[in-house]
Every structure is written in C-alpha cells, then in structure tokens.
C-alpha cells in the first residue's frame, strides 16, 4: 500500500466512522430490510473508496448520501419488479413475517408514517431524514420537481391529519 | 400556517429519527466495510499487475466459452423446457448478474430440474460476484423454504394401492415420510394424509407424480424467504465467535485463579450460545434444503367407477349396463302404466255391469 492508498484508506475510516450509521439507518427506512441495508451501507463506502480522488473530503457526506440512496432505491425497484414477476406466476416468495415488521410494529410513533403509501413515504424519508433537497429527490426518484413538491405536500397533509387524530385519541 | 408546517416537519423528523434508531447498526459493519474495501483494492491492483498476455488469453477463453454456451443455448431443446427457464428465473431472483459460467449452469439446471436451480443459484451468484471487478461482499442469495400441498381424488376401489404408492413416492430420492395416516369409513369414504420432506431438487418431480395418482383437486405451492433469518444467524454466530476468541486471549493472560474461573465461565456460556445459534441456523437451512410436501389422497363415495380395460371386458360391461338400463326402463314404464291400467279395468267392469243391467231391464 503506497502513501496515497494509505491516505485514501485513512479517509475511508473517517467516513465510515462519521456517516455509516446514518446511511445504514436511511437504507433501513427505505428498504425496511436490515440485511439489504447492510449491503447498501457497505457498497456505498466501497464505491467511495474506489472513486478515491474524485470524492472531495468536504463533499463526502453529500456524495455518500446520494450513492447510498440510489443503491437503496435500485434495490427497492428490483425487489418490486421481482415481487410482481413472482406474483404473476402465482409464487409467493415470502409468506413469513418480515423481521423488519417486528421492529416497525413495536413503535406507535411511526404508525402515521407507515400508513403513508410508498409514493409518499419515500420523498418524506429522503427529505426529512436523509436531508436531500427537492431537486435531489426528484433526480433520485426520477420525478419532476413539481411532482416531488406535491407529494411532499400531500404527505404533510396526511401526516397532519393522522397526527392530530392520534393526539385527540391520546387526550381522550 | 408556516409555523404549523415547521412544527409538522419537526415532528416528522423526530418520528423518522425514532424509527431509524430502532435499527441497531451491526457492531462489525464498519470492520466488514473496511475489509471489503481492502479486498476491492487488492483485486484492482492484481488486475492492474496481471500480464497483458494473460488478459488476452482470458478474453479468448471467455469468448470461446461464450460461443460454446451460446451454441448450446441455441441448439439445445432443454432451453425451452420449464426447468431451464425456472432456473434462469431463480438466478434472476437471486440478483445474480451474468457471468461466463451462467450458460453452462443453466444447462445443468435444465438437466437437474427447476428446484436444483434454486439450490445451485447460490453458486451462480457467488461466481458472478467473484468475477465482478467490483468486490463488494457477495449479496446473500435468496433462500426459499418451499412447501407443496397436493390433494388427489382416486377412482373407486383404488385407494389402498394409490395410498401405498403415494407413501413410496414420498420416500424415494432421499425423501422421508414424517407423518402418515389413513382413515376408512366402510363403504363411504377413504382418505389418507401424509407429510414428507424431500430434497428440494426433487420437489417438482414428486408433486408431478403425486398429481398423476388420480384427479388433482388442489395443488398449492408456497415459498418463504428465510434469507434474512440466515443472515441474522450468521452475523450473531460471527459476533459470538469473535467474543470467544477475545475471551481465549484473555484466558491465556489470566494470572489469578479467580480470573481464570470467571473467564472460563464466560467462555462456556459463549460456546453454548454459538452451538445453540449454529443448531438454529442448521434447522432453518434444513427447511431450505428439504422441501415439505403434504399430500392428501381421497376416494369419496361418488368417485367415478373405473372403466374396464380390453374390448371384451368393455363389451360385457356395456351389455351389463344395457340390461340394467332396459330393466330400469321397464320398471319405470310399469310404474306409469299401472294406475292407467287400473282405471281401464275399473271403467271396463263398470261399463259391462251397466250394459248387463240395461239388457236385464
């Protein structure tokens, strides 16, 4: 390992320490599958390491976020396609409970979020957890910026309704 | 209004943070990531250092393999058969990207059957990952625990032989019967239910043969993805093994008897945990390797009577049916005719009496 590579490896260690937990959790929120999220969280960093000099240290967070989100969304798309294809031939790949559901089910707080349809849930995660801009979300989800804005608006409206209902129930 | 949006956005952020916090980051994820990066780096350097002649030879070999495989795919009838197609689907399902060995693997899947494809797809995924210049750890292939449920109705009088045959089918090719029970209510119904475990590559063959025992009433096939469970067990086993290694290291440096006893006790617990986890993992893996088949064979009261074989037998059978049909028809005709005949007799007698009186009068 020469000096440049040692530096790159040292940088990678810093990135992993600083960002991996957040990226792993973001992938978990998107995929609801910890095993797949682990792979995404690893792959993003390996790609960053391979990209080496192309990733500026100051820009690493943004770069890693974008790569991890794209990897997670690609997996989500291929999983959806796969499930549809299997559904067409009458095959049910997973009759058992998703281990992630057990975690999701434990929390009451996320019930409102879990009730959102996928098309609204993803922009909400990308906007409010991953902290992407509306333009970045549009690019990641292959949508127009206007569509992202309207989906976020709709999601906020539904969440507001849901949360106020939850509040009333709590008070009552 | 804008304040309300801010409050709502803050609430959503908090909800997301709370939900994200429920996903515990695996303790060894960082170490695995760094190790994967090192592997990627060393592989890249190896590729850079490889002599050009080797690259040319490898490319030529790959081209030959691709041409041969392509020839097999184009000329082989197997490629159109369901098993091969399913094997390819299994590869796709496992997320395996095309590798040079793929065509050959497809062929072998075609020969071995669809379920073999699922089992062998692991090889395909591994080969693909190994051949990929991007050396992220190989994605764990999808492991499916399969279950089939078959119910067939057999012809009248054939329950005993078909039931025996079903048990024999289930026990062949490395399969075994877990549970088997049959009930016969004299002259009314005979039904048998068996549960068997068979090597997953023989599942399709068994289901096909069971269906051929009679008329299929119900055939259900389900699959349960146990990959997350296996990945979870692997991670927990790795963690426990790392802990065990650390404890062994501590034990070797322990000076006092109390310290040795304490570490030994923790070692025993960790070893027990590893064995327990390995046992549970093996149990889940067995669900993937051995598919479960539930078969029900029934002979109901109104089961169709078997058609006799051979022209003489058929003729005699039809003649018998004809006699029965004619006699049945006669009885029915008599039933209709009897009241009419009775009325005719009464009318005839009445008329005779009336005419006799008229003559006497």
State the alpha helices, DSSP H only, in chain B: 2-21, 29-49, 52-75, 82-93, 102-112, 114-131, 159-171, 203-211, 227-253, 257-289, 311-360
**A115 interface with B at CB cutoff 8 Å:** no
**B5 interface with A at CB cutoff 8 Å:** yes
> Per-residue pLDDT for B46 more than 80?
no
A26/chain B closest Cα distance in angstroms? 7
Distances (CA, A) of B318 to B156, B328, B332: 18, 15, 21
The verdict on a CB contact (< 8 Å) between A128 and B36 is no
> Per-residue pLDDT for B31 more than 60?
yes
Work out the number of other CB atoms within 10 angstroms of the CB of residue B360. 6
Least confident of B30-44, B148-162, B200-214, B322-336: B30-44
Rounded distance, CA B31 to CA A37, Å? 16
Mutate to test the interface with B, among A13, A71, A93, A158 (most CBs of B within 10 A): A93
pLDDT score of B65: 58
Residue bearing the bigger pLDDT, A29 or B360: A29
Residue bearing the bigger pLDDT, A94 or A114: A114
Percent of chain B with pLDDT strictly greater than 70: 67
Which tens digits make up the pLDDT trace of B227-245?
Answer: 888 888 999 999 889 888 8
> Per-residue pLDDT for B316 more than 50?
yes
Cα B204 to chain centroid distance, Å, stands at 8
The verdict on a CB contact (< 8 Å) between A113 and B11 is no
User: How far separated are the first and last CA of chain B, in Å rounded?
Assistant: 121
Scanning B140-199 for CB atoms below 8 A from A yields 140, 142, 144
> Per-residue pLDDT for B211 more than 50?
yes
The verdict on a CB contact (< 8 Å) between A92 and B222 is yes
Work out the number of other CB atoms within 10 angstroms of the CB of residue A50. 18
Least confident of A9-13, A84-88, B332-336: A84-88
**B218 interface with A at CB cutoff 8 Å:** no
Rounded distance, CA B136 to CA A39, Å? 8
- Mean of the per-residue pLDDT values for chain B? 73
Which tens digits make up the pLDDT trace of A48-106?
Answer: 887 765 666 667 788 888 889 999 998 888 887 777 776 666 655 554 444 444 444 43
pLDDT score of B340: 94
Rounded distance, CA B180 to CA B197, Å? 12
> Per-residue pLDDT for B115 more than 60?
no
């Amino acid at each position: 390992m020469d000096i440049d590579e040692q530096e790159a490896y040292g940088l990678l260690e810093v990135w992993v320490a600083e960002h991996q937990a957040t990226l792993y959790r973001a992938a978990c929120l998107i995929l609801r599958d910890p095993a797949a999220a682990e792979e995404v969280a690893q792959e993003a960093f390996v790609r960053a390491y391979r990209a080496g000099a192309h990733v500026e240290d100051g820009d690493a967070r943004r770069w890693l976020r974008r790569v991890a989100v794209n990897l997670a969304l690609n997996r989500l798309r291929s999983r959806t396609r796969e499930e549809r294809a299997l559904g067409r031939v009458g095959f049910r790949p997973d009759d058992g409970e998703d281990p992630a559901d057990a975690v999701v089910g434990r929390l009451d707080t996320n019930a409102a979020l879990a009730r959102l349809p996928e098309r609204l849930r993803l922009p909400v995660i990308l906007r409010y957890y991953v902290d992407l801009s509306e333009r970045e979300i549009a690019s990641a989800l292959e949508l127009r910026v206007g569509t992202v804005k309207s989906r976020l608006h709709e999601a906020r409206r539904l969440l507001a309704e849901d949360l106020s209902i939850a509040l009333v129930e709590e008070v009552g | 209004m804008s304040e309300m949006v801010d409050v709502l956005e803050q609430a959503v952020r908090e909800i997301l943070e709370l939900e994200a916090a429920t996903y515990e980051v695996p303790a060894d994820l960082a170490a695995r990531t760094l190790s994967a990066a090192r592997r990627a780096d060393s592989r890249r350097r190896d590729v850079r250092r490889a002599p050009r002649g080797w690259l040319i030879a490898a490319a030529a070999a790959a081209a030959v393999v691709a041409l041969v495989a392509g020839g097999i795919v184009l000329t082989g009838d197997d490629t159109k058969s369901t098993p091969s197609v399913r094997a390819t689907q299994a590869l796709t399902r496992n997320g395996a990207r095309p590798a040079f060995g793929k065509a050959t693997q497809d062929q072998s899947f075609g020969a071995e059957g669809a379920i073999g494809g699922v089992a062998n797809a692991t090889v395909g995924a591994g080969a693909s990952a190994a051949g990929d210049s991007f050396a992220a750890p190989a994605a764990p292939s999808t492991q499916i625990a399969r279950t089939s449920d078959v119910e067939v109705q057999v012809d009248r009088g054939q329950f005993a032989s078909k039931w025996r045959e079903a048990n024999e089918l289930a026990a062949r090719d490395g399969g075994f019967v877990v549970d088997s029970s049959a009930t016969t209510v004299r002259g009314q119904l005979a039904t048998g239910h068996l549960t068997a475990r068979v090597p997953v590559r023989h599942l399709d063959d068994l289901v096909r043969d069971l269906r051929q025992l009679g008329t299929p009433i119900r055939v259900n096939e389900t699959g349960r993805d146990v990959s997350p469970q296996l990945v979870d067990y692997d991670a927990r086993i790795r963690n426990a093994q790392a802990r065990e290694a650390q404890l062994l290291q501590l034990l070797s440096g322990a000076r006092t008897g109390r310290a040795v006893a304490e570490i030994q006790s923790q070692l025993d617990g960790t070893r027990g945990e590893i064995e327990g986890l390995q046992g549970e993992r093996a149990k889940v893996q067995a669900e993937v390797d051995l598919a479960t088949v539930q078969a029900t064979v029934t002979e109901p009261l109104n089961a169709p009577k078997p058609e006799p074989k051979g022209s003489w037998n058929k003729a005699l059978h039809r003649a018998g049916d004809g006699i029965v049909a004619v006699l049945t028809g006669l009885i029915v005709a008599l039933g209709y005719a009897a009241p009419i005949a009775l009325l005719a007799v009464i009318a005839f007698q009445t008329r005779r009496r009336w005419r006799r009186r008229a003559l006497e009068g």
